[in-house]
Amino acid sequence: MKRLLLPFVAASVLLSGCALLSELLTEVFQKPTFRFKNVAVHNASLAGLSLDTVWQLDNPNTVGISLAAVDYALFVDDKQVVAGTPQKGLQIPANGATELTFPAEIKFLDLVPALETMLTKETATWRVEGSIGVQTPIGLLSFPIAMQDVFETPKLPQVQFANPKVTNLSLQGATVEFPVSVTNRSTLPLAINEVVGTLFIAGAPVGTVSTGTLGQLEGKGTRQVTLPLTINFFSAGTAAVSAIRGGNANLKFDATIQSGGAQVPLKLDQLVSFVR
């Protein structure tokens, strides 16, 4: 009979020991803290941008813990967008802290029917919600993810011509250099592939010009380029020829700005003076 009771006694002792150990761990283990740190906006173009929310997980214990579960949703102007998550199983060292970055690629056409609508906004609202699960010696702990703020949106760049310079003039035509400046109106660095379109002088089309690849414009930065164009007087209007030979005329630019795979129309109309 005593032999039969021994396994039950041993099991009871083992269970009570486990319960005691669990109780001790619960008392000694300090709950980690999880907080929002910042938001990073980068890779901005007229087509979209990258928006990463960064969080910090602090582990004040002498044992490491690990990220075990992620439930994360990102909304821009109340529309959910696709977002990535940190790698599951990420280790948080003992007495250490780890940044958790949730990346998202935002395409403006997923938010609005026309790019021009988004590019006239000053800001857009982002909101995140969800939770993370952290595996610890006392079990799985859950922390809420909740934050809302605004981010600056890219703006359609300002394009402006200076007075064109006539560098070669003959009876048949002229070579004209058109100085143009492209200004980034937002504080975000903005990728611009090129600005290309047709020029009109005094209402007459005189040719197509392109800035070529402009690269990335710094926030509030300006890129200046000169666009040379050979104009045939026989196809240009009388008013255009007269202006080129020395005078004023309306200069129209019917163009597109190409940025990040997007092509946004641009129509410019300004008075210029042709100089030699």
Delimiting residues of CATH 2.60.40.10 domain(s) in the chain: 31-152, 158-273
Q: Is the pLDDT of residue 198 over 60?
A: yes
User: For 223-261, how does the pLDDT look when each residue is reduced to its tens digit (9 = 90+)?
Assistant: 999 999 999 999 888 999 999 998 899 999 999 999 999
3-state secondary structure 180-215: EEEECCCCCCEEECEEEEEEEECCEEEEEEECCCCE
Q: What is the CA radius of gyration of the chain?
A: 32
pTM of the full structure: 0.84
DSSP state of 118: H
User: For 101-150, how does the pLDDT look when each residue is reduced to its tens digit (9 = 90+)?
Assistant: 999 999 999 999 989 899 999 999 999 999 999 999 999 999 999 999 99
SS3 category, 117: helix
Split at pLDDT 50, 70, 90, the class of 91 is confident
Residue that has been written with the tokens 């486990």 in this structure = 18
Other C-beta atoms lying within 10 Å of the C-beta of residue 19: 10
- One of 3.40.50.970, 2.130.10.10, 2.60.40.10, 3.40.50.410 is the CATH number of 158-273, namely 2.60.40.10
Token pair for 198:
């047709």
pLDDT at 89: 67
pLDDT higher at 4 or 23: 23
Asked whether the beta carbons of 255 and 156 are under 8 A apart, the reply is no
Token pair for 120:
């006239």
Please give the Cα distance from 5 to 138 (Å, whole number).
32
Q: Average pLDDT, whole number, for the chain?
A: 90
- One of 2.60.40.10, 3.40.630.30, 3.40.390.10, 2.40.37.10 is the CATH number of 31-152, namely 2.60.40.10
pLDDT at 28: 79
Please give the Cα distance from 34 to 41 (Å, whole number).
22
